[in-house]
Chain A
Amino acid sequence: MGNWVYALAFYGLTGAALLGAAGVLVLRNLFHAGLALIVTLFCVAGLFILLGAEFLAGIQVLIYVGAIAVLILFAVMVTQRIAFQSILRQYSRAALAAFPVALALLVGAALLARRAVAPAPAPLPAGDQLTDLATALLSRYLLPFEVISLLLLGALVGALVLARKEEPK
């Protein structure tokens, strides 16, 4: 018990994540593509739990599913009229260029899967992971933490400036 449950969860989550990604690629209705993206984001959160990063899984659901995906769906609805007109041609002409690179990545994946020699993960240290994360964020990573808060402020103001309607002069 345990072994096969873990394997089943891993393969199920990975399969569902890849199905969601395929949905983003092929679904003509952009709103449905956004919903497929949400499936993938949830499955990645599940993979985080399997890897023992429960806090990150929570953040993934909160920020990605709760904020970014909803924002993307809003943008789809705002640009909807055109989004549905322009699906007459869904793919750009550059699409063919994607396949050699994707093929190379798939070959890389196959080689990686054949070797399968990554070292076994170290046992999780005793103690509260969340406390360690918080301590690291406010000691070793204090400068990036402050810089990224400034980045978020800049993105907030910048997005407001960009998306605002020009008022008539």
Chain B
Amino acid sequence: MTPATLAGYAAVSPTHFLVAALLLFAAGFVVVVSRRNAIAVLMGVELMLNAVNVALVTCDRVYGPARLDGQLFALFVITVAAAEAVVGLALIIAVYRVRGTVAVDELTELKG
């Protein structure tokens, strides 16, 4: 079975993939806003980026499979996500070393 025959499948349309991406994005958003540990917040960001990638690849399949723009964008998103995770975790470890905590609501020095 090849994805080329996806068009013939009424059961799973591209909209289903978009809905799945939206649900995953919502879950990632709730994680980002509600968890207290900065590392868990970073996990939520990764979930949101993954959801966006699913949407990008779906649109790539629907609108331009010959140019592959969606897949290339997803590739760039993955690369930027890697850079973001590395710098974010380095920041968290530096903060942990200085402050002894990684709870996002205890870092309030800049609060007026």
Contact = CB atoms under 8 A, between A and B. Distances in A.
Interface of B is mostly: helix
A2 interface: yes
A75 B26 contact: no
Given A7-B9, A125-B65, A72 B35 contact: no
Given A25-B35, A40-B50, A50-B3, A82 B100 contact: yes
Given A56-B71, A56-B74, A72 B39 contact: yes
Nearest to A132: B68
Contact of A92 (B1, B36, B96): B36
Interface of B: 1-9, 11-20, 22-31, 33-37, 39-40, 42-44, 46-47, 50, 53-54, 57-58, 60-69, 71-72, 74-76, 78-87, 89-94, 96-97, 100-105
A17 B96 contact: no
Contacts of B36: 86, 89-92
Contacts of A87: 37
Nearest to A122: B65
Contacts of B25: 105
27 contacts: A7-B11, A10-B16, A47-B17, A48-B57, A52-B3, A56-B53, A59-B78, A67-B82, A68-B85, A82-B96, A82-B101, A90-B37, A91-B36, A101-B33, A118-B14, A119-B63, A120-B13, A121-B65, A122-B61, A123-B65, A124-B4, A125-B65, A132-B68, A133-B71, A159-B89, A159-B90, A162-B91
Contact of B14 (A41, A121, A123): A121
Contacts of B6: 6, 52, 120-121
Contacts of B58: 51
Kindly name the residue among B39, B40, B83 whose own CB sees the greatest number of chain A CB atoms within 10 A.
B40
A35 to B, nearest CB: 11
B22 A109 contact: yes
Interface of A is mostly: helix
Given A25-B30, A102-B29, A78 B1 contact: no
Kindly name the residue among A24, A60, A141 whose own CB sees the greatest number of chain B CB atoms within 10 A.
A24
Given A21-B27, A122-B62, A133 B15 contact: no
Nearest to B84: A155
Nearest to A91: B34
B81 to A, nearest CB: 7
A155 B60 CA distance: 29
Nearest to A76: B39
